[in-house]
Amino acid sequence: MAQQASLEGLLDFSAPEALAASQRAQAARTFHMIVDYFRQEEVAAGSSPKYSRFLLVRYTYNFSLSEPSQDIFLRAFFESMNFNIAVGYDPDFTKDADSLRQGVVAFADFLFDNFFLPLRASSKHTPQPSPAHLSVIQRVQGPHENIPTLERISSLRRACLVRDRSRCVISSTFDATEAVARLREDGDNAKDDNGNHLMGELFESLEVAHILPHSLTQANDCGELSDSKKAALKILNMFDINVSHLIDGVNIDRAYNAITLTHTIRRYFGDFLVFFTSVSGQEHTYTIESFLPKGVVPALPVTRALYLTEGRSIDPPSPRLLAIHRAISHILHLSGAGAAIDKILKDMDDIGTSAAGTTALGQIVALKLGGWCGNPIRQ
């Protein structure tokens, strides 16, 4: 716990200086040398764990989206190991292997406990209020900070339905509520926003899905972010520097951080099992894939050009936020951290029964104390 507390202070990079090209190359070489050594040691032991801390650290660096973000990561990593990144360091594994291993493990645990675990745990908790009778453009694009949370998300849901033309952006399923209204109004001649007849289609109730979870910037009863959430926002800069400003406070509920999905697909997207990869040279066009078994989401893989409103009166989904979501999806999958988190969340569901394990108890308590799950929506 003391190691965890000391690491938290390393992530205060209000004005980080870019590393010189030679410094960056040297730091990256040393980083890979250290992490790859212990990953190879792990594999050579013959019982490679399903979740590898060393792969978590490696892929968090690899999926950082820019050099400035990689600089933040490398600075934090080497400071956590008590190395001066400006001087350079050639690890001596014959003498320092144990301390180096402990340092990498502590850094991985910090990332896991303060970012990947809470984001994955909280992704299931996007509120789904019924749509309010609000002016979509005025309420979503106007003064956001004065609107209560439930009303704000209701407005967000309606705005996303308008922007996404009442269809799931992945499966193209049409919204059931909107379909009933149009079929009652126009009968067999009812059409969607593209002029296609609705008669004969299958419909589902659609939901709003946050790209980065709503609870990431949800304050406590005192109107403040928990230390855990502050740490998560700082770690977010390791993926895309200064991106946290896009989702500060009520901005987390802006249309650029949300998409329209069916209930089932929203769950998979929130679990970081479905992800969007931008198509080069085609604005707001994505290949959508998953880490699910083939056939679980029959529509996947698929390439979609997302709808835009006239004059972009409603913001399209942010390419930066979708890229971060994709990066997190890959890190969780490739390191095995996603499966480890599933086990912890199952223990959370089983808490109070004989099925609950003591190993994850501290992490479960930290999630609740950090306000990541189980808290009511503040008004």
What pLDDT, in 10s, does the model give residues 92-130? 999 999 999 999 999 999 999 999 999 988 875 555 444
Same domain, 106 and 144: no
Least confident residue range of 28-42, 68-82, 114-128: 114-128
The percentage of the chain sitting over the pLDDT mark of 70, rounded to a whole number, equals: 80
Domain edge (last residue) among 123, 139, 164: 123
Task: Give CA–CA dist 242/235, Å, rounded.
Answer: 11
Same domain, 109 and 167: no
- Quick one: pLDDT at residue 138? 40
Task: Give CA–CA dist 207/348, Å, rounded.
Answer: 25
Q: Which domain holds residue 320?
A: 130-226+238-336
Domain count along the chain: 2
pLDDT tier, 364 (very low <50, low <70, confident <90, very high otherwise)? low
Residue 361 domain-assigned (yes or no): no
User: CA 32, 33, 35 angle in degrees (round to 5)?
Assistant: 60
Could you tell me which residue, 112 or 86, shows the higher pLDDT? 112
Same domain, 81 and 139: no
Return the axis-axis angle of helices 337-349 and 361-369, rounded to nearest 10°. 80
Same domain, 100 and 35: yes
pLDDT tier, 250 (very low <50, low <70, confident <90, very high otherwise)? confident
Task: Give CA–CA dist 244/251, Å, rounded.
Answer: 10
Domain edge (last residue) among 123, 153, 184: 123
Residue 233 domain-assigned (yes or no): no
Same domain, 138 and 20: no
Domain edge (last residue) among 123, 142, 172: 123
Residue 95's alpha-carbon distances to 45, 90, 98, 99, 224, in angstroms, are 20, 12, 8, 9, 45
Residue 37 domain-assigned (yes or no): yes
Same domain, 191 and 86: no
Tens of pLDDT, residue by residue over 2-26, are: 344 456 665 554 446 788 999 999 9
Residue 32 domain-assigned (yes or no): yes
Residue 278 domain-assigned (yes or no): yes
How high does pLDDT run on average in the chain? 85
Residue 341 domain-assigned (yes or no): no
Residue 333's alpha-carbon distances to 135, 245, 338, 342, in angstroms, are 40, 27, 6, 12
Burial of 304 (0-12, 13-18, 19+ CB in 10 A): middle
Same domain, 56 and 205: no
Same domain, 56 and 9: yes
The percentage of the chain sitting over the pLDDT mark of 90, rounded to a whole number, equals: 61
Residue 364 domain-assigned (yes or no): no
User: CA 173, 254, 243 angle in degrees (round to 5)?
Assistant: 115
Residue 279 domain-assigned (yes or no): yes
pTM: 0.87
- Quick one: pLDDT at residue 223? 76
Tens of pLDDT, residue by residue over 196-223, are: 999 999 999 999 999 999 888 887 777 7
Same domain, 118 and 142: no
Same domain, 184 and 75: no
What is the average pLDDT across 153-163? 94
Same domain, 218 and 330: yes
Same domain, 217 and 296: yes
